[in-house]
Amino acid sequence: MQLKRAFAVAAFSTIVSVQAMAAIEVDEATYPGAGGDYNNLLLLIPPVTFALAGGTNLFHGTIVSGTPNDSGDTVLLDIGPLETITAVRITFATNAIDLNPVGINQGTRLVLDTASSSNPTPILDLAITGRPDGPVVFSSNPLTQGPDLYNLTLLTGVLALADNTRVGYTIAIDVVAIPEPTTWALLAIGLGTLAFGVRRRVS
């Protein structure tokens, strides 16, 4: 009985550890090696690749053109087996307020494409427009992008906020993760073992 109970606990522990892989949240201001600019992570050998997990994965950053110039950001995204990107959103000008708006120049966009593809047509090309005096959200249509390595790039001609400071943003990437068949098998074994133990105790 003790052996069966221990096996059931082990099975459930494995399931919890598999499903405990949470979505990530990254900030270029504090991420090791970024130095305040996501593009610095592309220059490392090997370049930093972010493995996304099920849930909403968040990337916080800032952009500004002029000196110093940081008028765009790119991150490499790894979508693993049994995972799918379902949506991408950007909250632009997260630090803008009524008295400190930002003018978004033509050509400001959020682009998603595969890192290995030579196809000039991106998977997502989301135009960012307007003159927000506060955070504004731009969202993709529903997506079904499965396992692959992707580039996610914010391209912009934005100069700065009205007070010449950097423009903040947050990119949200929704990922659906399907449990692997072994996870379902462990769940079935754990439930079956517990049920058998309960039945033995009752009888």
In the predicted structure, residue 172 carries a pLDDT above the cut 70: yes
- Report how many domains make up the chain: 1
Residue 9 placed within a domain = no
Q: Would residue 15 count as lying in a domain? A: no
- What domain range includes position 42? 23-178
**Is 11 inside any structural domain?**
no
pLDDT of residue 199: 54
- The pTM score is 0.79
Q: Is residue 80 part of a domain?
A: yes
- In the prediction, which pLDDT does 107 show? 81
- Assigned domain for 200 exists: no
The pLDDT of residue 93: 94
The C-alpha atoms of residue 122 and residue 145 are separated, in whole angstroms, by 12
Residue at 185 is within a domain: no
The enclosing domain of 57 has a CATH number of 2.60.120.380
- 195 pLDDT above the threshold of 60: no
> What does the pLDDT average to over 151-175?
92
Q: Two tokens at 199?
A: 């039945």
The answer to whether the peptide bond before residue 179 is cis (omega within 30 degrees of 0) is no
* 191 is a domain residue: no
